[in-house]
């Protein structure tokens, strides 16, 4: 049940971020945002740990800021796999990932969902 709530919260965050960055990030419908949230959850579970391990030296060198680049790469991969979800470029992807993280964190705190 927690997974479904987290996917729905992420879908709302994706819609909010797409609305804020309208001409550069496009999500066709709420159903597409649910698919994007599900794909992001899968990529965060399976691909992100691998990318984090590979990039440990760069992450240490940049004091953790390279994790933002990893988040942008994850969103690029999601945009590749999901039709109806489009992001224009790297900087828009980076800004999109920051907004999605902030909005989903805010919504999770309002809903009091556990992260465990």
Express each pLDDT in 49-79 by its tens digit: 999 999 999 999 999 999 999 999 999 999 9
How far apart CA 69 and CA 88 sit, in angstroms, is 15
Check whether 116 has a pLDDT greater than 70.
no
Category of 63 on φ-ψ map: left (φ > 0), alpha (ψ -120 to 50) or beta: left
Express each pLDDT in 17-52 by its tens digit: 999 999 999 999 999 999 999 999 999 999 999 999
3-class secondary structure, 23? coil
3-class secondary structure, 47? coil
The alpha carbon of 49 is separated from its chain's Cα centroid by a whole number of angstroms, namely 15
């Amino acid at each position: 049940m927690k997974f479904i709530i987290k996917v729905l919260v992420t879908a709302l965050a994706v819609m909010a971020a797409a609305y804020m960055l309208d001409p550069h990030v496009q999500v066709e419908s709420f159903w597409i945002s649910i698919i994007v949230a599900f794909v992001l959850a899968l990529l965060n579970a399976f691909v992100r740990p691998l990318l984090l391990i590979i990039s440990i030296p760069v992450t240490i060198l940049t004091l953790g800021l390279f994790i933002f680049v990893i988040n942008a790469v994850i969103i690029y991969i999601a945009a590749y796999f999901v039709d109806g979800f489009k992001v224009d470029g790297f900087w828009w992807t980076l800004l999109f990932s920051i907004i999605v993280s902030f909005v989903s964190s805010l919504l999770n705190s309002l809903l009091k969902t556990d992260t465990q």
